[in-house]
Amino acid sequence: QVQLVESGGGLVQNGGSLRLSCAASGRILSPNVMGWYRQAPGKQRELVATITSGGGTTYADAVKGRFTISRVNAQNTVYLQMESLKPEDTAIYYCSYHQFGPAYWGQGTQVTVSS
């Protein structure tokens, strides 16, 4: 079992910045992939960014150039630095961990960008 706890969400103005953190605990094995997904009201959950334990990253087109994912393996922690936030970034952001089998998910943290 893996437990994920997100923090860092909140309310920010259009163009502002936020940094999300996710701490993983439990049976953490390598290699693995950790990432951030988001779900806006009335929409499906979508990929934001992922990072492998080796440091490889992927980003959704909508956030490329604005968001940066990073991790500290020794602390089993992944971060999402969000810059130039837009109202359309408003969503619940979920941390994920995946090695083999189904992914684990955090409880989510709300990010709201006011226009």
CA distance linking residue 75 with residue 16, whole number of Å: 27
Give residue 89's pLDDT. Answer: 98
Does residue 100 have a pLDDT over 90?
Answer: no
Give residue 81's pLDDT. Answer: 98
> Binning pLDDT at 50, 70 and 90, where does residue 82 land?
very high
**Model confidence over 50-60: pLDDT tens digits?**
999 999 999 99
List 70's β-bridge partners, or say none: 79
State the chain's mean pLDDT as an integer: 96
Does residue 102 have a pLDDT over 90?
Answer: no
